[in-house]
Amino acid sequence: QTISFLPELISIYPENANSDAPKLIGYLIFLKDITEIQESNNEKKRFISYLSHEIKTPVSSINISTKLLNDARLGNLTNEQVELVETIEKQSQRLLNLANEISTFESKFKSN
């Protein structure tokens, strides 16, 4: 069983200390410095947050641009251009879904 004591710095693992005698003679307590583990976890959290943001930002611009093209505000599109815009929309939606999944993962990761 792990006891939380300064959980951001150390983990404590208490164990019963028995000899061959049937009676408990004491406890052993093991301490483990988890500072590096916590720093690594914090770096992972920052990276996940950064990654999600860096995907969403260009996807937003792409989505706005494709809407402008579809609305014919910049002129009428040929059938071939319409197909290209549809492909761009589908792929940008995939990226947005990925960014949302990363955000969901980030939320779960932060809660742990």
Q: Is there a single domain that holds both residue 10 and residue 62?
A: no
Q: What is the reported pLDDT for 35?
A: 80
Judged against a pLDDT cut of 80, whether residue 100 lies above it is answered with yes
Sheet strand arrangement including 26-33: 3-5, 10-17, 26-33
Alpha helices in the chain (DSSP H): 35-70, 79-111
CA atoms within 13 A on the CB side of 109: 17
Q: What is the reported pLDDT for 65?
A: 92
Instruction: Please count the structural domains in the chain.
Output: 2
Cα dihedral 54, 56, 62, 68 sign: negative
Give residue 13's domain range.
Answer: 3-33
Q: Chain-wide mean pLDDT for the chain?
A: 81
Q: What is the pLDDT of residues 19-43, one digit of tens each?
A: 666 666 666 677 777 788 888 888 9
Threshold 0.85, pTM exceeds? no
Q: Is there a single domain that holds both residue 58 and residue 95?
A: yes
